[in-house]
Amino acid sequence: MALQTSTVDVRTRDGVADAFLAAPKRPGTHPGVLFYMDAFGLRPRLEEMAGRIAEQGYVVLVPNVFYRQGRAPLLDLSDLADPDARGRLFTVLRPWMGQLSPERAMSDAEGYLDFLTGLPQVSDGPVGVTGYCMGGALALRTAAHRPEQVAAVAAFHPARLATDAPDSPHLLVDRLRAEVYVASADHDQGMPPEQQARLEEALTSAGVRHVCEQYDGAAHGFTMSDTAVFDEAATERHWKALLDLLGRALH
C-alpha cells in the first residue's frame, strides 16, 4: 500500500513535540495508532516500523517524547549496533528518562492523542497504542489515562511495568478498557519473572482482556534491527501479535 509520510509538530502543554506521521495514501479514513519510541528515539528504524503498521490501514503517529531536549535526532546513533557505544548513550539518556515523569508523560499523551484523533484521515472511534522498551510503560499509562479512547495497548520488551514503586504502571490497570498484549524479553533485568507475574495477576484481577508472554531467547530490544540484539523470529512474532490485536480492537 502506498503511504504518505511526514514530520509534524504536535502542540503539548509544555511546548511542541516533533513527530513522524505515516498514513495510507488511499482515500477515506483509518483508525489511529499512537506509537511510543524506545529510548534511542526517532530514527529510520522506527519510521520503517510505523510504515509497516500504516500499510495495514492505520494512521500512525510516533512522537519524540524527549522533545524538551530538542528536535530529533538528539544523539549520534551511527554506532547503535555496537553494544559498548549503546551503553555509553545511556549516560545521556537516563537523565532524560528520569525527567519524563508520569505526570509530564500523560500531559504529553493528551496532546498526542488530541492531534492524532483530530487528523482528517483518522476515523472516529477508538485508537491503539503500542510502545517499545521505555515506550511500553508510556503505552500502558496512556491507555489508563484515556480509557474511553484507547481500545488496544501493546508493550514490547518493556521494563518496569510492575515494580514496588507507588506509581508503578501495573497499579493503573483497573482503569483500562483496552485489550492488552505484553511481550517481555527473556532474562530482561527490567522485566524479570516476578514483575511479569505481578502484571499478569493485576490484569487478571482487574478483569482486563490480555495476553502476557515471554519471548524465550529474545533479548531486551529484540525488535530493533539497528541494534546488536535484533531477533528476526521474535520480531515477526511481535508483528503478528500487534496486527492481530489492532485488527480485533479497532475494526
Which residue numbers are catalytic?
Answer: 133, 188, 220
Mention every residue, 6+ apart, whose C-beta is less than 8 A from residue 87.
none
Cβ-contact 57, 29 below 8 angstroms: no
**Angstrom distance (rounded) from CA 155 to CA 11:** 25
Residue type, 85: A
Residue 141 C-alpha cell reads as 499509562
Cβ-contact 99, 68 below 8 angstroms: yes
**Angstrom distance (rounded) from CA 181 to CA 212:** 6
Cβ-contact 19, 26 below 8 angstroms: no
